[in-house]
Every structure is written in C-alpha cells, then in structure tokens.
C-alpha cells in the first residue's frame, strides 16, 4: 500500500454509502488476508432495514425458508420485545454459504458497518470455511439452492395435500429436529445440490411410473412367514439408530412419500445447523478476535479516526461483557466474552508466555506465530475440545471461575467442588469443557427395536446420564408426534448405566389427517 492511500480515511463521521462500504470491505480484506492470513469464501454484503432484520431473525437467520407458523410465533415474540425495548437487534446476521452472505442494517453508523464487515464477512466467514465440523457437516455451496427447493416443495405440498396435513407433519418433524442429526463422523457429508436433484428425480420417477393398476394388484400372502431373527431384523432396519428423523423417513410404515421428503428436508437443515451449536464459543470468539485485530489495524494505519475507534471500542466492550454469576444480567457464559478472552489469551501465550504457560501449553508457548497457531486452533477444534485444551489458569483466575457440584441426593446444599487455584484448575477446566459437550447436552435417545411380530410398537431407549430424566410433559408431547409419524404405539424407556429401567413412556398414535 502506498502512503497516500494509507493516510486516507475510509470515511468521515457516521454516514456511509455503497462506495464507502466497498472501501471498508477492501481495507478489511487487505488486513484479513495479508496480515491475518485468513482464507474466506467470497463475500456478499446485503443492506437491509431493521424490520427485515427482524424477519430474518425469526427464520433462523436464513434469507429464504419454508413457511411455518412457529416462525411467526417467534416473530410475534421478538417483535414485541423489540418494540418494548427489551431487546436490541443483533448487529449482524451471517450465513454459512458460498458466497458468504452478511447482512448490514441500514441504521448502523459507518463504524458499525466496518465492525460488522470485519466480524462477519471475515471472522465468521473464515471460521465457516476452515473449521473441520463445518467442512464435514455443512454444504456452503448448496444451502441456498436447497432452501429454495425446500420452500417451494413445502408450498407445493400444501397446495396438494392441504396446509393442515403439511403442518402436522412439519410440527412433528420440528419436535424431533434435535434428534435428526448424525452426531458422529463416518456418515457421508451433506451435498445439498445433489440432494435436491435426487429429490426432483424421485418425484419425476414417481409421476412417470404411476399406474393406478398397481393399486388393484393382489399382493398375496407374504412369501416368507418365518421369523426374522432379532439380530437380522435390527440390522435390516439399521438399529440401533440415534437419528430419529432418518429412521422414520426410512422405516415408518404408513408415511406418504411427500411426508418422507418433508422429514428429509427438516433433517438436512438440522444437520446443516448442527456444527453451529457445537462451536458457539469458538465461532464468536474467532469473529470477535478478528474484528478486534482488523479495527485496531485500521486505526493504527490511520484509516479510521480516534473518534471512530472509540465508538468501536464502546460496542466491542458491550459485546464481550461477562456478568458475574450473582449479577442480575447473568445468563451463563457469554460466548463472545469467553471466546474472545481465550483467543487473546492464546495470543499472549504464544508471544509472551510465563513459566506457568510453558508448563501448561508446551506446544504453543512462546512459539511466536500467533496467527499460525490460531488458524490451526480454529480449524481443528470445537468448543468442548477447545476449552479442555486451551483454557489457561490465568484466564480462570481472571474470570474467577469456580465449579459447583449439585447432587440432589445431598440435602445439605450445593458443593463448591473447585475454585480457581492450583488444586482446582483441572477440575474447573474439565467441568467447563463438559458443559459444551454435545454428547452431554442432548439426551441420548435411540431407536432400539420394532416389534414386527406383534403390534409394531417402536421401542426407544433414553440412556440416562447422571440421573437426569426427561421432562415428562414435553417428552410425552414429542413422543406423541413421533407416534403420529410412526402410526403405531411408541414406547420410550429411560435406562440408567446399570441397565435398570427408571421410567417408561408409552404413547398411542392419533389419527393423522394425512395418513388416514
């Protein structure tokens, strides 16, 4: 960069226009790519109004989404709290797609737009493109087309089979959405474009080969009356299966083709969002670290004024504010605060370690190459492993973390298991990391078997961990949806590690309009 360009301010005051945005983007890109060595999808920046931001909010941030009342409910709720002033709007929404789409709100000042571009268009964007979970489970190239297809398909079904029938199926699918993902690698990753193509082909094939005659052909007695062995049966059904939506899509006996397709859509979308839940701390930490570096660099280069930089610092401080546990604002760890603090801590360990850090982080302490280390971290960890690897004693002390152990059987109260001292670091770190362990957050529920010889009852098992049973009311409601899709009875047993059954839920299907 020549000195003439460097000395030039990107903008004056708070106003911006499209050329300003372009200038801001180019300046950020220069720092992101050259100084930080980021690797990003091409960017697409969309300017929207506050109302459109609310719209986007209520459909999980996606620009196009199928229609469903629950998004409306969310909208009503969010709009109410926004209008009442209970909630500010997020500064940005960014979509894991290629090109990576970032929304800028028109109300923002030029400084805020710079912050959002640095945060979303470079921080999140880099994380989406490089983190192994996203690489493995999401399909940035295909998602927008797929959502488009999904929207059209759902609308089409509503036209053909009625809004109510579609709604029932979608409600049921949504209830099972968190159990509609493959959790462990080994499965093929999403390829949503191919997915969409196959869906079209399936429909075309059906239409082409439809012949009403087949309906009248007698099916005759089944050829093989001999009992399948239990093992063989389970193998045929792919049991045990933890992806409940997948199982229903493949094996529910009375679903219509379009219902299976709807389950598939919900399942694919759930899978697409799955990594986001496991990387909240890292993802936000990355984006916050990146915007902090970029903004600081812009300031150092004289591309933004002191005033702009102060404005930025104000927003930045708000974002990374972590209330204490006894504050009325406390609602758990703020992923921005924790993530950013850890990234900065890593930077410190890499550049300026103390003896303690050398002992705890022999691999990276004093290594010198901050961005090299961080890029590696961003690519290869998720929240759980990230925290268990990189939460330093110094940060635990700084945030004054402590570990509570709450055993309902212990009537005297909640035990302070460990605090931020020599004896407690490992315990605190382990406990915090487990707090982000997907395996522990979601209940472990699997389809175990189907009573094919008897009443076709579907048998599920919840492997109870630490004595935490399912909330009974909600569990029954979800199971009701499940039973409606399965069309026969469903039973769920809650079993502890020793194999003893703690509770059993049995639900009978309601008649579904569509299945009737």
Partner 1 sequence: MHIVDRRLNPSGKSLENRQRFLRRAKTLVQGAVKKASQDRDIKDVLEGGEVTIPLDGMNEPRFHREGGVRDRVLPGNKKFVEGDILQRPQSKGGGGNGAGEGDGEDAFRFVLSRDEFVDIFLDDLELPDLSKRKLAEVENEGLRRAGYTTSGSPANISVSRTVRRAMARRVALQRPRPEVIAQLEAELDHCSDDRRLELVAEIERLKSKIKRIPFIDPIDIRYRRFETVPKPVAQAVMFCLMDVSGSMSEHMKDLAKRFYMLLYVFLTRRYKKVEIVFIRHTDRAEEVDEQTFFHGPASGGTLVSSALETMHEIVQSRFRPADWNIYAAQASDGDNSYADSDRTGALLRDAILPVSQFFAYLEVGESGGHPFEMAESSLWTLYQRLRNEGEPLSMRKVNDRSEIFPVFHDLFQRRTGKEIAP
Report the site for partner 1 in 63-122 (rule: CB under 8 A). 67-73, 75-76, 99, 103, 106, 121
Binders of partner 1 in range 46-65 (CB under 8 A): 46-49, 51-52, 54-56, 58-59
Question: Nearer Cβ to partner 1, position 417 or 451?
Answer: 417
Handedness of CA 349, 352, 358, 364 (dihedral sign): positive
| 413 binding partner 1? (CB under 8 A) | yes
| 504 binding partner 1? (CB under 8 A) | no
Tell me the HSE value of 238 on the side-chain side, using a 13 A CA sphere: 11
| Shortest reach from residue 228's CB to partner 1, in Å | 30
75 vs 83, 188, 189, 272, 303, CA distance in Å? 12, 35, 32, 22, 39
| 22 binding partner 1? (CB under 8 A) | yes
| Angle between helix 335-351 and 383-390 (nearest 10) | 40
| 418 binding partner 1? (CB under 8 A) | yes
Closest C-alpha to 429, from 361, 348, 510 = 361
Question: Nearer Cβ to partner 1, position 58 or 259?
Answer: 58
Name the segment binding partner 1 (CB under 8 A); options: 80-88, 192-200, 217-225, 401-409.
401-409
| Shortest reach from residue 403's CB to partner 1, in Å | 5
| 465 binding partner 1? (CB under 8 A) | yes
| 45 binding partner 1? (CB under 8 A) | yes
Residue from 160, 198, 232, 400 touching partner 1 (CB under 8 A): that is 400
Name the segment binding partner 1 (CB under 8 A); options: 219-227, 362-370, 435-443, 451-459.
435-443
Question: Could you tell me if 386 and 342 are in contact, meaning their C-beta atoms sit under 8 angstroms apart?
Answer: yes
Residue from 90, 237, 371, 419 touching partner 1 (CB under 8 A): that is 419
Indicate the Cα dihedral angle 504, 505, 506, 509, nearest 10°.
Answer: -160
199 vs 32, 36, 162, 207, CA distance in Å? 39, 41, 20, 13
Question: Nearer Cβ to partner 1, position 316 or 462?
Answer: 462
| Shortest reach from residue 176's CB to partner 1, in Å | 8
| 507 binding partner 1? (CB under 8 A) | no
Radius of gyration of the chain (CA): 26
Binders of partner 1 in range 195-224 (CB under 8 A): none
Q: How many residues touch partner 1 (CB under 8 A)?
A: 94
Residue from 297, 424, 461, 509 touching partner 1 (CB under 8 A): that is 424
| Shortest reach from residue 225's CB to partner 1, in Å | 37
| 432 binding partner 1? (CB under 8 A) | yes
| 404 binding partner 1? (CB under 8 A) | yes
- x/- map, 319-348, partner 1, by CB under 8 A: ---xxxxxx--x--x---------------
Closest C-alpha to 345, from 296, 299, 298, 386 = 386
Residue from 12, 26, 35, 204 touching partner 1 (CB under 8 A): that is 26
CA distance 35 to 32: 6
Question: Nearer Cβ to partner 1, position 465 or 501?
Answer: 465
| Shortest reach from residue 334's CB to partner 1, in Å | 9
> For the residues of 110-150, what is the DSSP string, one character each?
HHHHHHHIIIIIIIIHHHHHH-HHHHHH--TTTHHHHHHHH
Binders of partner 1 in range 174-193 (CB under 8 A): 174-175, 177-179
Question: Nearer Cβ to partner 1, position 373 or 447?
Answer: 447
413 vs 404, 408, 424, CA distance in Å? 10, 8, 20
SS (H, E, C) 181-238: CCCCECECCCCHHHHHHHHHHHHHHHHHHCCCHHHHCCCCCCCCCCCCCHHHHHHHHC
Question: Could you tell me if 189 and 139 are in contact, meaning their C-beta atoms sit under 8 angstroms apart?
Answer: yes
Question: Could you tell me if 279 and 215 are in contact, meaning their C-beta atoms sit under 8 angstroms apart?
Answer: no
Name the segment binding partner 1 (CB under 8 A); options: 43-51, 138-146, 191-199, 296-304.
43-51
Question: Could you tell me if 142 and 193 are in contact, meaning their C-beta atoms sit under 8 angstroms apart?
Answer: yes
> For the residues of 271-307, what is the DSSP string, one character each?
HHHHHHHH-HHHHHHHHHHHHHHHHHHHHHTTSS-HH
CA 425 to mean position of chain CA atoms: 29
Question: Nearer Cβ to partner 1, position 1 or 469?
Answer: 469
Question: Nearer Cβ to partner 1, position 164 or 310?
Answer: 164
Q: Which helix (H) or strand (E) holds 45?
A: strand 43-48
Cis peptide before 240 (omega within 30 of 0): yes
Name the segment binding partner 1 (CB under 8 A); options: 8-16, 220-228, 373-381, 464-472.
464-472
| Shortest reach from residue 54's CB to partner 1, in Å | 8
- x/- map, 360-399, partner 1, by CB under 8 A: ---------------------------------------x
Binders of partner 1 in range 476-495 (CB under 8 A): 477-478, 480-481
Cis peptide before 101 (omega within 30 of 0): no
Question: Could you tell me if 351 and 343 are in contact, meaning their C-beta atoms sit under 8 angstroms apart?
Answer: no
């Amino acid at each position: 960069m020549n000195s003439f360009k460097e000395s030039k301010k990107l903008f004056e005051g708070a106003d911006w226009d499209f050329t300003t945005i372009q200038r801001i983007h180019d300046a950020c890109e220069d720092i992101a790519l050259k100084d930080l060595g980021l690797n990003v999808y091409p960017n697409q920046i969309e300017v929207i109004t506050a109302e459109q931001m609310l719209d986007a909010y209520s459909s999980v941030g996606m620009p196009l989404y199928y229609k469903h009342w629950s998004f409306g409910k969310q909208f009503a709720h969010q709009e109410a709290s926004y209008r009442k002033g209970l909630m500010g709007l997020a500064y940005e929404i960014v979509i894991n797609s290629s090109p990576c789409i970032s929304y800028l709100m028109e109300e923002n000042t030029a400084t805020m737009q710079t912050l959002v571009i640095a945060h979303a268009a470079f921080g999140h964007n880099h994380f989406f493109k490089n983190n192994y979970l996203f690489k493995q489970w999401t399909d940035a190239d295909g998602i927008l087309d797929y959502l488009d297809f999904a929207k059209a398909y759902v609308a089409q079904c509503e036209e053909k089979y009625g809004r109510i029938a579609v709604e029932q199926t979608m409600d049921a699918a949504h209830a099972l959405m968190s159990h509609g993902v493959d959790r462990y690698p080994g499965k093929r990753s999403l390829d949503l474009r191919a997915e969409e193509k196959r869906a079209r082909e399936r429909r075309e094939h059906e239409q082409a080969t439809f012949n009403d005659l087949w309906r009248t052909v007698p099916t005759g007695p089944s050829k093989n009356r001999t009992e399948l062995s239990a093992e063989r049966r389970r193998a045929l059904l792919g049991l045990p299966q933890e992806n409940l939506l997948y199982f229903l899509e493949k094996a529910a006996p009375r679903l219509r083709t379009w219902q299976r397709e709807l389950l598939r859509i919900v399942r694919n979308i759930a899978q697409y969002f799955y990594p986001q839940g496991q990387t909240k701390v890292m993802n936000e930490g990355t984006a916050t670290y990146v915007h902090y570096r970029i903004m600081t660099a812009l300031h150092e280069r004289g591309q933004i004024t002191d005033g702009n930089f102060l404005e930025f610092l104000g927003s930045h401080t708000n974002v990374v504010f972590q209330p204490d546990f006894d504050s009325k604002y406390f609602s758990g760890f703020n992923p921005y605060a924790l993530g950013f603090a850890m990234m900065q801590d890593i930077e410190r360990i890499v550049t300026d370690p103390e003896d303690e850090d050398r002992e705890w982080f022999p691999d990276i302490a004093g290594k010198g190459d901050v961005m090299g280390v961080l890029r590696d971290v961003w690519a290869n960890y998720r929240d759980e492993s990230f925290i268990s690897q990189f939460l330093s004693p110094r940060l635990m002390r700084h945030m004054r973390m402590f570990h509570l152990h709450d055993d309902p059987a212990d009537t005297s109260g909640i035990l302070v298991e460990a605090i931020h001292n020599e004896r407690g670091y490992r315990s605190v770190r382990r406990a915090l990391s487990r707090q982000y362990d997907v395996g522990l957050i979601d209940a472990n529920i699997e389809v175990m078997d189907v009573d094919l010889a008897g009443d076709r009852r579907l048998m599920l098992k919840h492997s109870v961990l630490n004595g935490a049973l399912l909330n009974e009311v909600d569990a029954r409601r979800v199971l009701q949806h499940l039973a409606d899709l399965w069309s026969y009875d469903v039973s769920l047993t809650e079993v502890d590690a020793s194999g003893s059954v703690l509770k059993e839920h049995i639900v009978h299907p309601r008649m579904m309009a569509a299945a009737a």
